[in-house]
């Protein structure tokens, strides 16, 4: 795989759809909205056309912040706060490690990180059972 990539000379510079600046603006507005009204925003990166290399450019701009979380439910998920507090990058993988979805979420804590009521109820029951066993 690597040897093939090395033998092919592919120029990828110079492409741009021009989608990055408006996307960053959208993120900025969303952050403002979060601060003012407490509303969260999710952006689906798959719905935007990107030129080769452009998405990486975006991720580079967002960078890696203080928090990085790994989730394991129906495959892995990576949840990373960008260098901008409140701006999160969420990547869902399937069991084969293939990307299933890429989102930018502007929120205090991504919803998926919070313990879910149904799960907690189930856990409560399980804990109860465990206690009874003891």
Residues binding other proteins (CB under 8 A): 11-12, 14-18, 42-44, 46-52, 54, 71, 73-75, 77, 92, 94-96, 98-101, 103, 111-112, 116-119
Q: How far is the CB of 132 from other proteins (least distance, A)?
A: 21
Task: Please say which residue, 13 or 134, places its beta carbon nearer to other proteins.
Answer: 13
Q: How far is the CB of 8 from other proteins (least distance, A)?
A: 11
Neighbours of 105 (CB within 10 A): 20
Task: Please say which residue, 46 or 64, places its beta carbon nearer to other proteins.
Answer: 46
Q: How far is the CB of 66 from other proteins (least distance, A)?
A: 22
Closest CA to 84 of 18, 17, 16, 26: 26
Q: How far is the CB of 44 from other proteins (least distance, A)?
A: 5
Closest CA to 31 of 87, 79, 71: 87
Tokens of 45: 């990166």
Task: Please say which residue, 18 or 134, places its beta carbon nearer to other proteins.
Answer: 18
In angstroms, rounded to a whole number, what is the distance separating the alpha carbons of residues 24 and 14?
20
Residue 68 CA from chain centroid, whole number: 10
CB contact at 8 A, 106 and 30: yes
Task: Please say which residue, 8 or 134, places its beta carbon nearer to other proteins.
Answer: 8
């Amino acid at each position: 795989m690597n040897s093939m990539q090395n033998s092919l000379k592919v120029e990828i510079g110079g492409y741009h759809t021009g989608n990055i600046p408006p996307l960053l603006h959208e993120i900025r507005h969303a952050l403002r909205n979060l601060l003012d009204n407490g509303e969260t925003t999710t952006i689906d990166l798959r719905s935007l056309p990107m030129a080769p290399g452009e998405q990486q450019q975006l991720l580079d701009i967002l960078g890696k912040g203080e928090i990085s979380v790994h989730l394991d439910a129906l495959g892995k998920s990576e949840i990373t706060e960008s260098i901008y507090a409140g701006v999160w990058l969420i990547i869902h993988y399937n069991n084969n490690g293939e990307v299933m979805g890429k989102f930018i979420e502007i929120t205090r804590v991504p919803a998926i990180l919070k313990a879910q009521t149904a799960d907690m109820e189930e856990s409560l029951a399980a804990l109860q059972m465990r206690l009874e066993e003891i």
